Structure 1
């Protein structure tokens, strides 16, 4: 019988600058596979191809001159990356990124537990929700450790993110099962390997001493995630009480604008993240 991936350990990266897209890709893959320089190279390659396509479309136009004079459309000066860059990075591992509201993703909307990973984005923040060794975790780089998500709450959590304006993408394919743990020492320097027990201990410790750190644009999923973590420990709570906990979390998230906000005012398929 095949054992757990990476010996049962969880790979997590803590936020560095505005490199949440790098952290998101690596936690989807569960290993330090990409650096910011790798993603930047992919972004510049995409820029080059976009310019080439515009030139092949006919005579040089004012639109092209304006496009050519602008900064990269796939990476900003401070390190934000577009969804196309994340897609290209994951394509290296034969993984496909699919918008959550796409018809092909309908089974995931009905039963997300059958999937393996989701990418979430709002304004300039990316993070992933990933199933590792049959358990779901929130690998948000704003957290000190991955937070466990019960299967019961996964659907409610995704629905709350969507209602709060987050863009959600489904990731499908054959995920890498092993990453040499020693490679993290020579890679991007952001990552750490944690046992599920260590991750739970760190999360509990932070929740007791202080609120989970978060940006203003991620307060809705931070509040709900904390509520989920607390509820997971109450295994004997009746279903009506669980539903009440969800309702309370949804009320908290109502303070966040429900207008869909995408990076730099555009759609998530074509702007910097």
Structure 2
């Protein structure tokens, strides 16, 4: 195919039957099966469909990469794929990848995210981190609610004034008369704490 003699014939590659491509010690076939061309490179995960318009460009690209391309003529052995594709055409939704390409991508993702963990472990760690954040927020909300409840109870007790023994001191006799004395802040705090701890009002 690369020779001057063949190029002078100006033959459109789509009119041929097959090509064998070689680079160093690697050989593969580009062959027409039915009415469609396929790249049968064994380094791919499967046959690659090549359109008629792309065939010449594909062969030219191989030439630039250093491949020797041989034109195959004559009667080729019959194969089941050729028989089926003479009846129907196929469409390829996704180009086959090089063997090991997926594994290389997974390894790249693994090394980028965390050299010491596999991709599955990284995803698991991320899930655990999200769950931990959610639990922390939940606990924080519960603590705020508990603090608000305690604050409401304290305000209610303070608003009761001298009628509540937890807020006022017991009666004492001074200069022959009875008078209620206000509790100091520390005594009020201790009585309220005792009230919350025991669930009952402290005795006077």
Flag whether TM exceeds 0.5 (same fold): no
Q: Which has the higher contact order (CA 8 A, sep 6+)?
A: 1
Q: TM-score range by the shorter chain?
A: 0.3 to 0.5
Q: Give the greater-gyration-radius structure (CA).
A: 2
